[in-house]
């Protein structure tokens, strides 16, 4: 698939960009075109200029994404570091753009005396990704707080949608239209007495104690099945430490798969399949991936 890039976008585009530079697993082949918009206006113009058949992918911190070794055909739009507005719009409402890190939302809301927002500290990605999958941690979920969202489609048209226009469930968000992506959202919280950053700090300490923070991973690989935990099923299947190439199931938290520095995307995907097959055989439960797997095999 080939397409011509308009000259005004060239300063913001990298061609054949390795996605291993933009995912928390540090694996993945090249994408044809990697675009970091300078503004919403430029983003809209860029999307309008793309041929309809060109696939568009979105990435923030790359913490919930496995790109196969053969890479991606099409365009990746990177929001992190560009769509980063976060502000309090009234006593209980917060406005955040898609590129804002979720941990920043947690810290700032605590300073504003708003909650519940501490759970955002346990989400390793950006707000756009949290909206796309109803990310959650420590018993909280993103869409419980959403009032309305702002979106953009591949024709560059922006619109506002009420939260009720989306069908939302555990780690799943069904949009009313395809090829429409999140730019921002307004969140509703409750006022709380002025608090220090202790709550966020305690949650992060709990996360560090139970998860392999600092290792190359994507966070949780599998969605928890109803009434159970994926980590418990994986551990009960004797899979802690199981390895394929440079990828291994964490011995600290079984729902994490780690890259030891030498893994390929193929190693990770093969290990994901081994875990799914083993848990299904041992416990009769089919695990579904929380991580999104895209691209072509080498």
CA distance 144 to 122: 16
Q: Catalytic one among 63, 220, 250, 264?
A: 220
Task: Tell me the two tokens of residue 287.
Answer: 């695990």
Render 3-45 in DSSP notation, one character per residue: -PPPGGGGGGEEEEEEGGGSSTT----EEEEEE--SSHHHHHH
Q: Among candidates 245, 255, 256, which has minimal Cα distance to 215?
A: 256
Entry field: residues in the chain: 298
Phi, psi of 100 (to 5 degrees): -75, 130
Q: Active-site residue 39, yes or no?
A: no
CB 81 within 8 A of CB 172: no
CA distance 5 to 13: 9
Q: Catalytic one among 154, 171, 201, 232?
A: 171
Phi, psi of 187 (to 5 degrees): -115, 140
Q: Catalytic one among 118, 180, 269, 290?
A: 290
Residue 139: exposure state from Cβ atoms within 10 A (0-12, 13-18, ≥19): exposed
Q: Active-site residue 171, yes or no?
A: yes
Q: Active-site residue 220, yes or no?
A: yes
Instruction: Characterise 127 by phi-psi region: left (phi > 0), alpha (psi -120 to 50), beta (else).
Output: alpha
Provide the annotated active-site residues.
171, 220, 290
């Amino acid at each position: 698939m080939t397409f011509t890039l308009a000259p005004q976008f060239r300063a913001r585009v990298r061609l054949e960009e390795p996605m291993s530079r933009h995912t928390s697993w540090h694996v993945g082949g090249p994408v044809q075109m990697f675009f970091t918009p300078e503004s919403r206006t430029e983003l809209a113009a860029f999307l309008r200029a793309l041929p309809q058949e060109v696939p568009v992918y979105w990435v923030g911190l790359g913490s919930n994404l496995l790109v196969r070794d053969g890479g991606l055909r099409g365009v990746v739009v990177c929001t992190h570091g560009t769509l980063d507005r976060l502000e309090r719009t009234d006593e209980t409402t917060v406005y955040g753009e898609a590129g804002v890190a979720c941990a920043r939302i947690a810290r700032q809301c605590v300073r504003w005396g708003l909650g519940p927002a501490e759970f955002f500290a346990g989400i390793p990605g950006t707000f756009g990704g949290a909206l796309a999958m109803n990310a959650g941690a420590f018993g909280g979920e993103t869409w419980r707080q959403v009032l309305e969202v702002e979106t953009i489609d591949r024709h560059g048209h922006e619109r506002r949608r009420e939260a009720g226009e989306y069908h939302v469930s555990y780690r799943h968000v069904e949009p009313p239209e395809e090829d429409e992506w999140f730019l921002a959202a307004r969140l509703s919280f409750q006022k709380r007495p002025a608090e220090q950053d202790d709550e966020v700090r305690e949650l992060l300490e709990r996360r560090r104690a139970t998860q392999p923070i600092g290792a190359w991973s994507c966070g949780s690989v599998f969605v928890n099945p109803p009434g159970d935990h994926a980590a418990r099923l994986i551990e009960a299947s004797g899979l802690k430490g199981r390895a394929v190439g440079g990828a291994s199931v964490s011995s600290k938290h079984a729902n994490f798969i780690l890259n030891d520095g030498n893994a390929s995307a193929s190693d990770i995907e093969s290990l994901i399949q081994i875990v799914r097959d083993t848990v299904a055989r041992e416990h009769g439960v089919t695990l579904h991936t929380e991580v999104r797997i895209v691209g072509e095999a080498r």
